[in-house]
Amino acid sequence: MTAAPILSVNRAQKKFGGLIAVNDVSFDVKQGELLGLIGPNGSGKTTMLNLISGALKPTAGEIALGGKAISGLAAHHIARRGVSRTFQLVRVLPSLDAEGNVMAGAVFGHRRLWGEEARELAHRLLERVGLAGKAHAPVAAMTYIDQKRLELARALASDPRLLLLDEWLAGLNPSELKIGISLIDELRHEGRTIIMVEHVMDAIRTLCDRCVVMSSGVKIAEGGVAETLSDSEVIRAYLGDDDA
């Protein structure tokens, strides 16, 4: 691991009218780290990912990727710089087959490939996420976990410097969850830098090096997973939340 963080979030804020969804949040992510971003419902986690990916512009504060400011850039420019994501509600392109969806990720992302090269990469990644043989399957007819796998393959197609997973494990049944966790674990062992927003605490415990905890838009804790999850303020924030 290098000392310089790949991502630096410095006093990020996002207001929606009178609501401060992200309030003065700062944290760093090191190269090769898998950071869990957790917190009760509505605490600002997805908004934080949206600020990093450029889907939303921060009201204040700065976000830098590899030491260069990205806050305020359009989402497609941030994607080119190497930030790639999956969405809380799966977003695949229904008019394309699985191969086409993954190729789209290669064409528009950080490491741009075209034609045969993109197609070969798409097939490697489809195999990688467990979709070998489904390259030409109609996407709309795919099961939920297969659509999630596809979204992950598309996100990986640009060889991102930073991968953002927004509740990628949500909605999976117990056996699918096991598969999903081992897939993320493999990415981690490959040295990918990942931020995962997740309510599945077992996954956070199994996978993450560190976690950042948000509550009501504010970062309330940060550190090693075991110590952070036993922090009394974190426990208090989760009390009464069904996902705790």
Ligand X SMILES: Nc1ncnc2c1ncn2[C@@H]1O[C@H](COP(=O)(O)OP(=O)(O)OP(=O)(O)O)[C@@H](O)[C@H]1O
Q: How many CA atoms lie within 13 A of 177 on its CB side?
A: 15
Structure tokens at 69: 């400011």
Stretch that binds ligand X, among 23-31, 41-49, 126-134, 183-191 (CB under 6 A): 41-49
Strand order of the sheet with strand 68-69? 19-30, 5-16, 60-65, 68-69
CA distances for 34 relative to 2, 13, 209, angstroms: 14, 23, 6
Q: Rounded to an integer, what distance in angstroms lies between the CA atom of residue 171 and that of residue 176?
A: 9
Stretch that binds ligand X, among 16-24, 135-143, 205-213, 227-235 (CB under 6 A): 16-24
Least distance from ligand X to the Cβ atom of residue 104, Å: 25
21 is a contact residue toward ligand X (CB under 6 A): yes
Least distance from ligand X to the Cβ atom of residue 47, Å: 3
Q: Rule CB under 6 A: choose which of 32, 42, 66, 171 binds ligand X.
A: 42
Least distance from ligand X to the Cβ atom of residue 6, Å: 22
41 is a contact residue toward ligand X (CB under 6 A): yes
Considering CB under 6 A, how many residues would be counted as binding ligand X? 11
> What stretch of H or E contains 25?
strand 19-30
19 is a contact residue toward ligand X (CB under 6 A): yes
Stretch that binds ligand X, among 13-21, 28-36, 60-68, 172-180 (CB under 6 A): 13-21
Least distance from ligand X to the Cβ atom of residue 43, Å: 4
44 is a contact residue toward ligand X (CB under 6 A): yes
CB 1 within 8 A of CB 31: yes
Q: What is the bridge-based pairing of β-strands 210-215 and 194-197?
A: unpaired
Stretch that binds ligand X, among 39-47, 66-74, 113-121, 138-146 (CB under 6 A): 39-47
Residue number, 41 or 143, with CB nearest to ligand X: 41
Q: How many CA atoms lie within 13 A of 132 on its CB side?
A: 4
Q: Rounded to an integer, what distance in angstroms lies between the CA atom of residue 41 and that of residue 103?
A: 34
Beta bridge partners of 37: 197, 212
45 is a contact residue toward ligand X (CB under 6 A): yes
Quote the distance between the C-alpha of residue 166 and its chain's center.
Answer: 5
Residue number, 16 or 114, with CB nearest to ligand X: 16
| Interface positions with ligand X (CB under 6 A) | 16, 19, 21, 39, 41-47
